[in-house]
Amino acid sequence: MTRGWKSEILPGLLLLKDTCNVFIVRKEEECISIDFGSGEWLDKMGSSIRGTLRHVFLTHHHEDQCHGLAKFAKRNFTVHAPFNENIFLDPSLNSKLTRKNAHIGTGCPPSYSIPRVGIKNLSYDMGEASDFFWNLDRIRFLPTPGHGPNACSILMDIAGKHVLFCGDAAYAGGKIWEPYHLEWDHWTGAGALRAFEGIEKISKIPIDVLCPSHGPIVSGRKNVADTLNKLSEKLLDFYRAKGNISPGIQDSYIPPRKILSSGAKEILPHLYQFGCNGYLLVSESGSSLAVDPFSADMPALEKLMKEFKCDPPSHAVVSHYHFDHCDGIFHLKTEYGTKLVLHPSVAFPLEKSPSLDAPWLLCRIKADNLWPQDGTWKWNEYSFKVSHWPGQTWWHCIFMAQIDGKRVAFGGDSFQPSSRWNGTGGFCAYNRSRFREGFIKSAQKIIRWAPDIMACGHDTYYRFNPDKFREIISWAKFAEKSIRELCPSGDIGKQYFRWKI
């Protein structure tokens, strides 16, 4: 029986449509709820709830599941949450995660949906093998992480049916509500793998009714099994997409011509790699240009300049906005008056910091000059070809120059050798990674440019191989498809790319 926001699924089981699906289980003069949402349903239901609310069980900590509980400081019901969700829900811990700029200069936050206000007096007693008895009914908890590391599904027998309240672990049709929640960090598939393990566990249990936190109810054992089996395969595809982006392509590192006593590597007579991310290009005039200056690399640069006896950098350029590729500019400006030249796509987030919500964005930096969006830039005898080059992040560029007879492309973090970080610096929605307009277009561009050497971040410089980038194009199509298959509507723009570019 359906009345707008309220429907009866089974005798004694109601679905209430709130900021999430709230489920009410009734027995005699008592009832419990699975998740809570805004809590407005309590007023709507009034006496029609037919029973005193005794317990609330939260499947996970996301704000849409439980934010209304903060208004109920004094309760005549007990609220239960999964083990370790106090990190996100307890006010004394929650406030550390929700304060302004709590994640500035870090990677992905520990959660993308932390309640803005902490919730007091919760019992963190839901976990595997910690069954709860409500009267004589056994309530079972099954860890199903994914939308969070501690999320649980709740299994009950209701009206002769095996009913699983799965939170956001599954969505009808083998989908996931807002799949970006599976991205626990900016480059691995750890969240997807844990989600797969949880779905594999519950898919082996005969379930008559699957009750997710969003979307429609799935009824019938075959339908539930089909939903979970489809989701299991899709989660594995997403996990595979987080794997190597150029499988089968052998590394082709370039050995340095020599390693200096300072630790710097001579790649070409006028090009040196120092520290973690830095490159130093030296002009015939003795002037130098710093590429991707990282503050931690500045001592290595000082040793290199002292040994090589070149002039300090007159200019610095940056491949992308992540702080480990640009925050050394403060040292260079203070010590040597170095001028910073940025591509517009890199300048944008650095000038917006700290108001922009993005990973590894530590400080506001303003360019002295800007490159064209696509074009050339001349520094002493070197002429650089410059362009937008999104991949690991949208705010990334590429620049290439002829150095000692070799075309050298400075590529930052998007495309690494196969043995380094799965061949990329990673992708995730939070980092504004894109596929067709990002990885694919960038791979096509570098194939056209055909450099001899890729001088990338984190001490990686290797021979350009067009086959590597052809594999990347195939991978990017697969990665985008794997995410689209998880989105309930199939609209990757609306349901995966929460953070706009």
| pLDDT score of 48 | 56
Instruction: Evaluate whether 2-241 and 258-495 have a shared fold.
Output: yes
- Confidence category of residue 1, pLDDT binned at 50, 70, 90: very low
Q: Is 301 helix (H, G, I), strand (E, B) or coil?
A: helix
Mean pLDDT over 442-471 rounds to 98
| pLDDT score of 261 | 94
| Joined tokens for residue 330 | 């403060």
State the average pLDDT for the chain: 95
Which range is least confidently modeled, 94-108, 142-156, 389-403, 411-425? 94-108
Cα 276 to Cα 294: distance, rounded to the nearest angstrom: 8
What percentage of residues in the chain have a pLDDT greater than 90?
Answer: 91
Mean pLDDT over 170-195 rounds to 97
What fold does the segment set 2-241 form as a domain?
A: Metallo-beta-lactamase; Chain A (3.60.15)
Backbone torsions φ then ψ of 466, nearest 5 degrees: -60, -30
| pLDDT score of 103 | 83
The label of the residue with tokens 């979307």 reads 215
| pLDDT score of 354 | 81
Cα 75 to Cα 166: distance, rounded to the nearest angstrom: 25
What percentage of residues in the chain have a pLDDT greater than 70?
Answer: 98
The sheet with strand 13-17 has its strands ordered as 2-3, 6-10, 13-17, 21-27, 30-34, 52-57, 78-82, 123-126
- Confidence category of residue 132, pLDDT binned at 50, 70, 90: very high
| pLDDT score of 470 | 98
Query: Is pLDDT of 7 > 70?
Result: yes
- Confidence category of residue 104, pLDDT binned at 50, 70, 90: confident
Give 19-66 pLDDT, tens digit per residue: 999 999 999 889 999 999 999 998 877 655 556 899 999 999 999 999
Query: Is pLDDT of 2 > 50?
Result: no
197 Cβ contact partners less than 8 Å away, ≥ 6 residues apart: 145
Cα 418 to Cα 243: distance, rounded to the nearest angstrom: 10
Query: Is pLDDT of 211 > 60?
Result: yes
Q: CATH class for domain 258-495?
A: alpha beta
Give 323-362 pLDDT, tens digit per residue: 999 999 999 999 999 999 999 999 999 999 888 999 999 9
Q: Which residues pair with 155 in a beta bridge?
A: 140, 164
Mean pLDDT over 298-323 rounds to 96
Query: Is pLDDT of 407 > 50?
Result: yes
| Joined tokens for residue 477 | 């199509």
Domain ranges of the chain: 2-241, 258-495
Query: Is pLDDT of 14 > 90?
Result: yes
| pLDDT score of 43 | 81
Query: Is pLDDT of 246 > 50?
Result: yes
Query: What is the secondary structure of 460-490 as a DSSP string?
Result: EEEE--HHHHHHHHHHHHHHHHHHHHHSTTS
- Confidence category of residue 294, pLDDT binned at 50, 70, 90: very high
| pLDDT score of 406 | 98
Mean pLDDT over 97-109 rounds to 87
Indicate the pTM of the whole model. 0.94
Mean pLDDT over 130-154 rounds to 96
